């Protein structure tokens, strides 16, 4: 770092360009003139930068004065303070963040600002340790997307307090959802002396007055759908619109701006946006455009699935992660099309995403197939996971996105997503089970069965064989159902021994298949197997009421057929006998890798049932 000859800090980027130091005089370099088109684009949702936020045409909301006043007062408290601005995306946090920094610097020239300005910039204790301790000097370390540096700030604040550094303070901004999901629990922040939160949600009347006054400077172009209304009518409409935004995850401020400035023209606005994005290639010589990138972002945001990470987006677009910021995210931000919070990417507001998806689904104007967007993304996420990448917040969000669509009645899309995942990893038993369940619940039991019959060797998953047994049984292949449930219970099927929950469900299924075999063929060995499996299942603790009911019904059927209660060791032997009989009567041959009945052992099951010294072999 360096200084001017007068000893005052000026705008000095770090070597990496990821942080900057500012003094009051630095603001003049940042507050360059803004064109009318830039201001109107900001009113339509463009991401703020220093130049826009400092423009006198952009109103200062009440939270700016409150925060700046608190920060300035911290100079007299003798301890580091942490000020956090929370809110949903599109709530105006970034603008207020920039303007608060500006007001602090302009109000007291003893303050200097260290601004973390890129989302991949680090924050370390060295930052604070390097700050000189001078009489009257105050330092403000500021970071937007602060969820990325929550742990570092927490550690730095305590370290500064222990050193008596009451001259260093923090201004942070983050989406409330991301902040609450950091590793630092809320109660720990609340135990930090000097920690204060300010939540930005909606507008008060003073804010609405200032915003409408800013719109009025540009007449009809600024007022949009409110053109022709009086100041008070426009203010009342703006307040009502901001209060009508019910989702805590969407910015009431931006939502109100979009509805009132565009109104019924929202779809036309988004259509024009899509047209511009379609013309902009991401990389020379490649076919992908910003429309492709925006389509992926809109697809997830429209479904309120806020877990599209930068890594997954880059993979879906076929570009390097390092290229994403400059080639995709920044241009989309300039078009007021996308927003970034930590690792996640969103549209500027869900209303924009929903309008875009409506156009994609119901017109042929753009070469975008909505179902392909979701398929591309789940495949990208799974491929990255297979390569060892961490997919935030968890890869399971992508693997089971199909459930979201299935529950909404979009069965075809749900099945398509599960099928795509099976193609990526044919040996992933959980994904194959999910596909089978979706097909069965969609009324396609034949396809559900094929999912198992064509599977390569699966290891270490008892539930896979139980689900396969259910699929076989639904097609009338009862002997195979018995055999496969036995495999699910056997020792060599998985490294973990059988547990109470899965074993109870499997025994209930085994008992039912044996019961139906007896009814079809009058073979006593199967009704004995029904009674034995029911007796074993009912001997387990912690039974789910539904499973317990099924076991009891099968047990009652066995009693009515003359099968007496078995001691547990004898019941386990009857399970093996019924399994061997079912294997001899099997309706079809399965893959060679499936264990044959004669090779199955049940020592783990015996241990679970506390059958001492008796394996049931």
- Of 170-184, 300-314, 351-365, give the lowest mean pLDDT range: 170-184
Segment 100-118 shows an average pLDDT of 88
With tokens 């260290």, the residue in question is: 114
Q: Which of 503, 529, 512, 505 is nearest to 609 (CA)?
A: 503
Looking at every residue in the chain, the average pLDDT score rounds to: 88
What Rg value do the Cα atoms of the chain yield, rounded?
A: 32
Task: Give residue-wise pLDDT tens across range 472-490.
Answer: 999 999 999 999 999 999 9
Name the pairing type of β-strands 168-175 and 82-87.
Answer: parallel
* pLDDT for residue 399: 96
pTM > 0.85: yes or no = no
Task: Give residue-wise pLDDT tens across range 397-453.
Answer: 999 999 999 999 999 999 999 999 999 999 999 999 999 999 999 999 999 999 999
- Of 135-149, 574-588, 596-610, give the lowest mean pLDDT range: 135-149
Contact assessment for residue 23 and residue 9, using Cβ atoms and an 8 Å cutoff: yes
At 614, the pLDDT band (50, 70, 90 cuts) reads: very low
Contact assessment for residue 533 and residue 490, using Cβ atoms and an 8 Å cutoff: no
Within the chain, what is the greatest distance between any pair of CA atoms? 102
* Region label for 610, one of left (φ > 0), alpha (ψ between -120 and 50) or beta (otherwise): left
- Of 58-62, 193-197, 339-343, 458-462, give the lowest mean pLDDT range: 339-343
At 35, the pLDDT band (50, 70, 90 cuts) reads: confident
In angstroms, the CA 121 to CA 140 distance is 17
In angstroms, the CA 448 to CA 173 distance is 48
Helix, strand, coil percentages, rounded to 5, for the chain = 60, 10, 35
Sheet holding 111-116, edge to edge: 19-22, 111-116, 138-143, 168-175, 82-87, 195-199
* pLDDT for residue 187: 77
- Of 156-165, 496-505, 538-547, give the lowest mean pLDDT range: 156-165
E strands in 331-410: 338-341, 344-347
Segment 116-126 shows an average pLDDT of 66
pLDDT at 122 over 70: no
* pLDDT for residue 22: 79
Task: Give residue-wise pLDDT tens across range 522-563.
Answer: 999 999 999 999 999 999 999 999 999 999 999 999 999 999
Give the DSSP letter of residue 325: I
Chain centroid, CA 553 distance in Å: 42
| Tokens at 40, concatenated | 């109107």
Task: Give residue-wise pLDDT tens across range 382-394.
Answer: 999 999 999 988 8
At 18, the pLDDT band (50, 70, 90 cuts) reads: low
In angstroms, the CA 147 to CA 351 distance is 25
Instruction: Give the Å distances, CA to CA, from 333 to 21, 72, 266, 337.
Output: 24, 32, 18, 6
Residues 6+ apart with CB under 8 A from 476: 587
Residue 197 CB burial class (10 angstroms; 0-12, 13-18, ≥19): middle
Task: Give residue-wise pLDDT tens across range 171-189.
Answer: 999 887 778 777 777 778 8
- pLDDT > 70: percent of the chain: 93
* pLDDT for residue 250: 66
Q: Which of 499, 506, 464, 505 is nearest to 593 (CA)?
A: 464
Encode 21-86 in three state secondary structure.
EECCCHHHHHCCCCCHHHHHHHHCCCCCCHHHHCCCCCCCCHHHHHHHHHHHHHHHCCCCCEEEEE
pLDDT at 36 over 60: yes
Long-range CB contacts (within 8 A, 24+) of 28-32 = 30/54, 31/55
In angstroms, the CA 230 to CA 137 distance is 47
| Tokens at 311, concatenated | 């890594």
At 16, the pLDDT band (50, 70, 90 cuts) reads: very low
pLDDT at 120 over 60: no
């Amino acid at each position: 770092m360096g200084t001017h000859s007068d000893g005052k800090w000026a705008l000095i980027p770090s070597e990496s360009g990821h942080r900057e130091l500012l003094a009051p005089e630095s603001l003049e370099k940042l507050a360059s003139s803004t064109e009318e088109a830039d201001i109107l684009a900001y009113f339509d949702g463009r991401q703020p930068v220093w130049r826009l936020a400092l423009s006198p045409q952009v109103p200062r909301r009440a939270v700016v004065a409150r925060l700046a006043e608190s920060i300035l007062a911290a100079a007299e408290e003798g301890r580091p303070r942490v000020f956090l601005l929370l809110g949903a995306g599109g709530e105006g946090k970034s603008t207020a963040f920039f303007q608060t920094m500006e007001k602090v610097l302009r109000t007291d020239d003893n303050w200097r600002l260290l601004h973390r300005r890129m989302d991949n910039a680090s924050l370390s204790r060295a930052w604070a340790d390097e700050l000189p301790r001078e009489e009257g000097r105050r330092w403000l370390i500021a970071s937007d997307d602060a969820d990325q540096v929550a742990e570092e700030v927490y550690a730095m604040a305590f370290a500064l307090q222990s050193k008596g550094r009451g001259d260093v303070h923090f201004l942070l901004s983050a989406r409330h959802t991301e902040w609450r999901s950091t590793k630092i629990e809320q109660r720990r922040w609340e135990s930090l002396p000097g920690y204060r939160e300010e939540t930005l949600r909606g507008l008060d009347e003073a804010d609405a007055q200032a915003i409408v006054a800013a719109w009025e400077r540009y007449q009809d172009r600024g007022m949009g759908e409110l053109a022709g209304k009086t100041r008070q009518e426009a203010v009342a409409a703006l307040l009502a619109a901001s209060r009508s935004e019910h989702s805590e995850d969407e910015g009431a401020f931006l939502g109100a701006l979009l509805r009132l400035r565009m109104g019924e023209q929202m779809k036309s606005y988004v259509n024009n946006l899509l047209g511009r994005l379609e013309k902009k290639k991401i990389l020379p010589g490649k076919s992908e455009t910003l429309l492709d990138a925006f389509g992926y972002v809109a697809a997830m945001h429209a479904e309120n699935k806020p877990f599209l990470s930068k890594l997954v987006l880059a993979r879906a677009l076929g570009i390097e992660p390092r290229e994403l910021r400059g080639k995709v995210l920044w241009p989309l931000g300039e078009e007021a099309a996308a927003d970034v919070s930590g690792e996640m990417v969103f549209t500027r507001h869900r209303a924009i995403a929903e309008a875009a998806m409506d156009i994609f689904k119901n017109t042929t104007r753009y070469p975008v197939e909505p179902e392909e967007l979701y398929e591309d993304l789940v495949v990208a996420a799974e491929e990255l996971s297979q390569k060892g990448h961490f997919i935030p917040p968890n890869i399971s969000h992508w693997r089971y996105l199909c459930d979201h669509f299935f529950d909404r009645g979009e069965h075809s899309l749900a099945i398509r997503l599960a099928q795509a995942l099976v193609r990526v990893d044919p040996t992933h038993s959980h994904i194959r089970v999910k596909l089978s369940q979706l097909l069965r619940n969609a009324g396609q039991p034949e396809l559900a069965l094929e999912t198992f019959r064509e599977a390569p060797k699966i290891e270490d998953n008892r539930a896979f064989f139980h689900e396969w047994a259910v699929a076989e049984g639904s097609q009338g292949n009862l002997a195979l159902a018995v055999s496969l449930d036995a495999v699910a219970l056997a020792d060599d099927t998985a490294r973990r021994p059988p547990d109470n929950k899965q074993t109870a469900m499997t025994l209930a299924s085994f008992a039912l298949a044996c019961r139906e075999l007896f009814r079809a063929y009058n073979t006593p060995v199967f009704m004995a197997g029904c009674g034995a499996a029911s007796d074993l299942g009912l001997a387990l603790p912690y039974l789910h009421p539904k499973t317990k009911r099924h076991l009891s019904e099968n047990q009652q059927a066995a009693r009515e057929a003359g099968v007496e209660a078995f001691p547990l060791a004898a019941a386990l032997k009857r399970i093996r006998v019924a399994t061997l009989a079912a294997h001899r009567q099997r309706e079809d041959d399965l893959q060679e890798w499936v264990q044959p009945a004669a090779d199955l052992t049940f020592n783990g099951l015996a241990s679970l049932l506390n059958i001492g010294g008796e394996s049931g072999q």
